[in-house]
Structure 1
Amino acid sequence: MIPVTEKFNTAIKQKSRQIFWTGKILLKDETVVEFDDKHILLDSGSITHSCSGTNELEFGTVYASEMGITLKLDKLTTASLENGIVHLFFNIKLNNDSIETIPMGIFEIAEANRTKHFVQLKGYDYMVRFDKTLNFSDTYGSIFELLEFCCKKCHVELGMSKEMVEILPNGKEQVGVYSEHDIESFRDLLHYIGMTTATFATIGRDGKLYLKRYLQDSVWDVREENRYELSISDFKVDYTAIQSTNLKTKISEYYALEVDTGLTMNVGVNPLMQLGLPDKRTRMCQAILQEVTKIKYTPLDSLIVSNPALEVGDLISFYVLNQQYLSIITSIEYTIHGKYRIKSVGKNTLKSANKSKQDKNIQGILQSIESDKLAVNTYTNLSAIKIKQKNQTIIDFEFASNKETDAFFMATILFSQKRKMIKVEEKLEMLDGEERKEITIFRTTVKKQRLHLKYYLNEFPIEQVQPSTECGEGNDLITVMYPLKHLPEKVINHFVVEMSVDDGEIEIPIEGIQAIVVGSGLGGSVPWDGKIKVNETIPLRNLALKSMISFKDNSAELKVDDFPEYKVTDVLRLNSLKLTMMNFDYEEKEVEINAER
């Protein structure tokens, strides 16, 4: 329920209310066309929201809200409505004769039909902008970073702060996307983010993206005088378990409360929950279980007196003969100047009681590596990188092969250099009559920097190939390639590229690095062995050691003084470079680790 004043809640419950609708249309040429009730054809306007399917409650849903309205506006008869934006507002007159206005959403016009006197508009909220193909297949980061990345790429503002995201279930976890997944669009990625955090994605009335939890406290009471129709179930929805398929083990795992008598929510295969050790996956599944077991409600279908402040995911109370029934709104249809239909879907808990745990622990059929198919492991950076004189890792691949094979590494690196001016001294000779004179000229020019790349394969430097180039001021691009020959079978290969600059500083922007390792029989979903690689330089320490040896009566005495305590403190920082990968049809093979990282 969106925030409203107490005066609004009082006025909306009254039997006699003075309400009206207003709106505006922002056209592509920045023209603003405003309208109100007198322009809206009677019974032609509606707004539909949903956060779940038609059968049961779900996590991770990514539904777009739909708007339809018919207007009589002379200004729209010839105007171009392509890419137009519609803002709708609900207005109510309060007891003090003031007007309170609440937003009803922002919608992009998807379809416009004109008749002789009217224009019929159909639009959707900004959720449709996430129907955009992903340009990478693997990535890594926090939930907040992934949300920011999705919003930036799809031109939708994120309505949540980092703190708001981190209080969600698994909101502080670091997650990654590996090659074996079905993510094709940013909307798919939002689905898995919502599943991971036990939420659903929605576009707020301000046009921003939010992850919303199903509420646990009732926000509105609906009594007999506040509704027209009611169809209510005779059972309550109660979840006591979840089921999630592990992509690595190919097992459908089952997590339940000690007393498991309720429904099981199937969260399916989630590629964001495959990174790290098994304990991490268990911890994340348990967090989802804790959230889903808080959900208890009664499904129903009702036609109620309008309250535009209500939203999907809200928990509301229905009273039937003084008996309270709590219900979660899973879909709601706002009718302009009309009644509101609210639905709450859910499965009967009794139907799940007949299933045994053996039935619930089913085993999935999953494909892995096919050795004869081509695989492309890709790598990009999702944060900017600044490089000064010393070597810094910019590309880090880890992959395995199920047979002895050859592969190729290729990369393009976009970077920019800060302007650094130097004075240059030049000596010139000139003729003064018959006499030859030498003059000295001083001029200022941009200093060119020399970049150096260094390759490492399985921690050993490749000394015979060390690319180097000069770069000038502004943006520049380099392309490199290196063949990886005779890669051994069933061994994890680790390929690293470091960059340094002789003097000055360069910066690689976000997604400035596009790198691939391509070959047959390669796989990039390598299990983590629990090791963390840290590169650091510890300066030389002078340890003071003073000793005195004295001889007395053919004996020696050793005394040690002033031996200072030696301490080293470390700070671990998350490497913001992301490993990405595209995988084409692999055959499942065992990978044996024979090399230490």
Structure 2
Amino acid sequence: MIEVSEKFKNAVRQNTRKYEWYGSITTKAGKVHEFTAKDIVKGSGYIKWQCCSNTEIELGTVYAAEMGISLFSEIDRYTLEDAEVRLYYRLTLLDGTTETIPMGIYEVSEANRKVRTLELKGYDHMLRFEKSLKLESSSGTPYQFLKAACDACKVEIAQTVAEISALPNGKTTLGIYSDNDIETFRDLVFYVAQVLGCFCQIDRYGKLVLKRYGNESVWNVEQKERFDSSYSDFVTRYTAVSSTNQISQTAEYIAMEKDDALTMNLGINPLLQFGLKSVREKILREILTALQKINYVPFDSSTIGNPALEVGDILKFSGGHADETKISCITSIECKINGKMTLKCVGKNPRLASAKSKNDKNITGLINSVESGKTIIYSFVNVAPFEIGQSLMNVMDIDFTATEETTAAFQCEILLEVVKPDTGGEPEEGVAAETELPELSIVYKINNETIDTFMPAKTCLYGKHIVTLFFPISKVIENSSNTFSMYLKISSGSAKIGEAQIRATISGQGLAAGLGDWNGRININENIGNISITDVPFVADVFKDTASVTFPSKKTQGLTQTIGNIPITDQNYEADAFTDRAWITEILRTFVLTSVRGNPNYNGYITVNTEERFMLRKRYVQKSGPESLDHGYAEDLVIDISYFTKVDGVEVNGYTAAVRPQYVITAAETSVKFPDTITVENGFFELKAVTEQTQEAVTDEVDEGFLERTTVDISGFDGVKGVEFTL
């Protein structure tokens, strides 16, 4: 509900009210045309707001408000392209004053001219987000995504960083994969708001605002304020959230302990695909917690209207057949200018949560039949060359996911060259070299388990070869993610495989289409060749045993063995070159925050160096405060160092007057001046107990005798015990 005064709320409840609609039209050239209530054709104007569809409550919605109005105006309709219409509602209060509230800013989309009138239709700034967006992989906080969208589409954001961060998942870093269905900035805003458990609106001032569903009533609609109304006999509430993971083609389901109501289906959200499953579950849990406030009774009512109401406001209805103990949320408003206001709250019946309509069943059957008959192919091409030696080397990994129990087929073609080993010499003349041909061995692994029953081998001549492989993969478990690996080794010599010379596929029905992006795993393979150690003589001393028998006690000596040092000569340690294969997808993007970029706010412990970079403050300046004294002047300063790890020193300076501050002032300080009322006899400053003053008496006239009078001023003392006079 837009902020209005209590006087406005009281006046809008009256049986009769005095109000006026008016506004202005600003053309693209900057020309302003004002119009009043007299210029509005009766019954022509309306404004529609909504945050959900006509059937159920939704998250992340980005509905645009619609405005239509007909004016008695002679404005040229051709000048109204992309013109801006501002509407206002002015209400006369009970004390005779007026209060005006904005009713929105709309951009003209249609302008039709009739004989005497001009028909206008417009939408708010939400349509500005219908701007094409080609977003590759990216990451950031929800506020960063929203701010980027608003800046690109020239729409202000109504909330601050702190307000967005306070929303569910507001501080979570989100990532977007490259293969996503985000086509416009409006799609991006939708998915971000869905993660935050909110819906989006353009407020009355043309700014983007994210709203949450609440449970605190802001307005009570009495029976006298309703023309007609209908209420459902159920309460809409949610106890579960479902989100589809596109990689595994499975729905991730999070529910309350007692799951007996509706499920909020988020579909495939590109921001909920990356990261560990536990992180995604945490995000869904936050959304589910926010949905617990939804406990609404769906309704449809025509009222006398309160222009201050907005979608998302919580209402209570009283009187008539309304249940005063229940609450409802406004999901759509249709406000007739100078007419009624229709309010609506939509929602599904939790008792029908498990039931599917005929259309749902037909669609599910069609999807299942199409998916079951589709052949999915996972492909692999090596991006780095390999040199195969006498130890097994991993040359291929293919990840594939099955959505149902099925079979798959592995096919591969390898182009390689077998190189003869260098023997280090030439065979003797007339002696034929007898060499054994090398044997190429292939080992298959599924999920790091070696397939012992099928190990192909090939005897190779030295030179170039084409290796064709086929392996049927049977009994792939339903809803499983698997990795098929291939290892090669050669008995002698080496086999060289060039870049992109391994072409392999895994195909089958019932497999999930992969995204082609990094799955979050980093595989590092290290091949270490044989480490040769030359023959070293092993020398051991002769065993020396000593035994003795003594009766009646018996004592057995232990065995003693001495082994000398075993010398090992220096050996050359050789390791085959590392072979890395990596696909890089940017997950997190690092931003450098300076004192200039982004206008950041930071506390007093942070300062900015000469390079405009943030650093901890090492020097602090504190100011003392004056202390009250009977005589003199003092400054008091208490320095709290409890929150510092270390304090190198304290410097007292900055005084411009003729004052020299000291830590301890004693009577020995000759530079300290003190008045006569202070004594230093005891080594410290203290007020004198006895003060002597010499005064001249004043002679007064009396009838008889002689009188001398003197006046003692004791205003400067807190108390005087007595006065002694000496003549």
TM range (shorter): 0.5 to 0.7
Residue in 1 that maps onto 2:195: 196
Q: Structure 1 residues 312 and 78 mapped into 2: Cα distance closer, same or farther (>3 Å)? A: closer
State the Cα deviation string for residues 146-183 of structure 1 (Å, max 9, x = none): 00111111111111111111111111111111133211
Which residue number in structure 2 is paired with residue 293 of structure 1? 292
Distance change in 2, residues 1:524/1:353 (3 Å) = closer
Counterpart residue type for residue 215 of structure 2: Q
**Which residue of the partner structure matches residue 525 of structure 1?**
517
CA distance in 2, matches of 1:51, 1:238: 17
* Contact 2:27–2:83 (8 Å) recurs in 1: yes
Equivalent position of 1:441 in the other structure: none
Q: Which residue does the alignment assign to 2:130?
A: 131
Q: In structure 2, what is the equivalent of residue 71 of structure 1?
A: 71
2:333 pairs with 1:341: no
Change in CA separation of 1:81 and 1:6 when aligned onto 2, cut-off 3 Å: same
1:121 and 1:220 map into 2 onto residues whose CA distance is 32
1:523–1:43: structure 2 CA closer, same or farther, 3 Å change rule? closer
SS in 2 for 1:80: helix
Report the counterpart of residue 118 of structure 1 in structure 2.
117
> Any residues of structure 2 matched to 1:472-551 within 5 Å, and which?
486=499, 525-529=517-521
The alignment partner of 2:267 has SS state of: strand
Alpha-carbon deviation of 1:86? 0.2
Partner of 2:7: 7
Once the two structures are TM-superposed, the CA of residue 117 in structure 1 deviates from its matched residue by 0.9
**How many Å separate the matches in 1 of 2:285 and 2:39?**
53
Whichever residue aligns with residue 575 of structure 1, its letter is T
Moved more, 362-371 or 280-289: 362-371
Structure 1 residue corresponding to 2:591, chosen from 566, 576, 583: 576
The DSSP-based 3-state class of the residue aligned with 1:159 is coil
Structure 2 CA distance for partners of 1:262 and 1:490, relative to 1, 3 Å:
farther
User: How far is the alpha carbon of 1:354 from its aligned partner?
Assistant: 5.9
- In structure 2, relative to structure 1, the CA distance for the partners of 1:139 and 1:401 (3 Å cut) is farther
Partner of 2:243: 244
Displacement of 1:135 in angstroms is 2.7
Cα RMSD after superposing both structures: 3.1
- What per-residue deviation string (whole Å, max 9, x for no partner) do you get for residues 270-295 of structure 1? 11012222111010010111111221
| Offset at residue 489 of structure 1 (A) | 6.9
* Aligned equivalents of 1:170, 1:45: Cα separation in 2: 40
Find the aligned partners of 1:331 and 1:145 in 2 and give their Cα distance: 29
Shift of 1:232: 0.8
Partner of 1:41: 41
Q: Is the 8 A contact 1:177 1:272 kept in 2?
A: yes
- Please state whether the residue corresponding to 2:318 is helix, strand or coil: strand
Is residue 179–residue 524 contact of structure 1 (8 Å, CA) maintained in 2? Answer: no
Partner of 2:351: 350
The structural deviation recorded for 1:490 is 11
Identify the residue that residue 254 of structure 2 maps to in structure 1.
Answer: 255
Give the Å deviation of 1:327: 0.9
Q: Distance in 2 between matches of 1:488 and 1:52?
A: 54
Q: Is the 8 A contact 2:245 2:251 kept in 1?
A: yes
CA contact (8 A) 2:22 2:35 kept: yes
- Report matched runs for 1:81-230 at 5 Å: 81-230=80-229
**Structure-1 separation of matches of 2:300 and 2:126:** 26
Residue 13 of structure 1: CA displacement? 0.6
- Aligned residue number for residue 558 of structure 1: none
Residues 263 and 488 (structure 1 numbering): CA distance in 2 closer, same or farther, change over 3 Å? farther
Q: Is the 8 A contact 1:23 1:35 kept in 2?
A: yes
Q: Which has the higher contact order (CA 8 A, sep 6+)?
A: 1
In 1, are the aligned partners of 2:379 and 2:398 still within 8 Å (CA)?
A: no
The 2-side partners of 1:303 and 1:104 are apart by 19
| Displacement of 1:253 | 1.8
Partners of 2:166 and 2:140 in 1: CA distance: 17
2:332 aligned residue: 331
Amino acid at match of 2:351: L
Residue 29 of structure 1: CA displacement? 1.4
Q: Are 1:239 and 1:264, in contact at CA under 8 Å, matched by a contact in 2?
A: yes
Deviations 1:353-401 (A, max 9, x none): 568xxx9x99996999866799xxxxxxxxxxxxxxxxxxxxxxxxx99
| TM-score, scaled to structure 2 | 0.51
1:369/1:523 contact within 8 Å kept? no
Q: Is the 8 A contact 2:139 2:589 kept in 1?
A: no
In the alignment, the residues of structure 2 paired with residue 369 and residue 112 of structure 1 have an alpha-carbon distance, to the nearest angstrom, of: 51
Structure 2 unaligned segments of length 5 or more: list them: 382-396, 400-411, 415-497, 505-512, 524-587, 593-727
Give the Cα–Cα distance (whole angstroms) in 2 for the partners of residues 314 and 530 of structure 1: 49
User: For structure 1, which runs of at least 5 residues remain unmatched after alignment?
Assistant: 375-399, 406-484, 492-520, 532-572, 578-597
Q: Cα distance 1:522–1:206, how it changes in 2: closer, same or farther (>3 A)? A: same
Amino acid of the residue matched to residue 145 of structure 2?
L
Distance 1:55 1:522 in 2: 33
Cα distance in 2 between the residues matched to 1:32 and 1:110: 17
**Structure whose CA Rg is larger:** 2
> Does the Cα contact within 8 Å between 2:135 and 2:182 map onto a contact in 1?
no
1:372-411 matched pairs, under 5 angstroms: none
Give the partner amino acid of 2:499: H
Judging changes above 3 Å, is the alpha-carbon distance between structure 1 residues 354 and 24 closer, same or farther for their aligned structure 2 residues?
A: closer
Q: Deviations over 1:277-333 (max 9, x none)?
A: 211101001011111122101001000111011111111011244731311111100
Change (3 A) 1:155 1:186: same
Q: Distance in 1 between matches of 2:377 and 2:119?
A: 53
Matched residue of 2:280: which SS?
A: helix
Q: Secondary structure at the match of 1:323?
A: coil
Please say if residues 141 and 576 of structure 1, whose CA atoms lie closer than 8 Å, have aligned partners that are also in contact. Answer: no
Alpha-carbon distance, 1:246 to partner: 1.4
In structure 2, what is the Cα distance between the partners aligned to 1:140 and 1:98? 52
| 1:159 to 1:404, Cα distance in 2 relative to 1, 3 A | farther
Q: How many residue pairs end up in the alignment?
A: 398
Q: Which amino acid in 2 is paired with 1:146? A: F
Pick closer, same or farther for the CA change 1:373–1:21 going to 2, 3 Å.
farther
Which residue of the partner structure matches residue 682 of structure 2?
none
Question: Which residue identity is paired with 1:527?
Answer: N
Per-residue deviation, 1:486: 2.2
Q: Report the CA distance between 1:130 and its aligned residue.
A: 0.9
Match of 1:206, SS state, is coil
The offset of 1:96, in angstroms, is 2.1
Q: Per-residue CA shift, 1:329-365, capped at 9, x if unaligned?
A: 111001101000011111111112568xxx9x99996
Rounded Cα–Cα distance in structure 1 between residues aligned with 2:191 and 2:294: 20
* Equivalent position of 1:273 in the other structure: 272
Greater Cα offset, 274-283 or 140-149: 274-283
Contact 1:401 1:487 in 2 (8 A): no
Does residue 1:54 correspond to 2:67, yes or no? Answer: no
CA deviation after TM superposition for structure 1 residue 116, in Å: 1.6
The residue identity in structure 2 corresponding to 1:303 is S
Hey, what's the Cα distance between the residues in 2 that align with 1:222 and 1:488? 74
- The question of whether the paired residues in 2 share the 8 Å contact of 1:77 and 1:119 is answered with no
SS at match of 1:56: coil
- CA distance in 2 between partners of 1:79 and 1:269 (Å): 43
Q: Percent identity?
A: 40
Pair 276,11 (structure 1): closer, same or farther in 2 beyond 3 Å? same
**SS of aligned partner of 2:80:** coil
Q: Structure 2: how far apart are the matches of 1:487 and 1:522?
A: 21
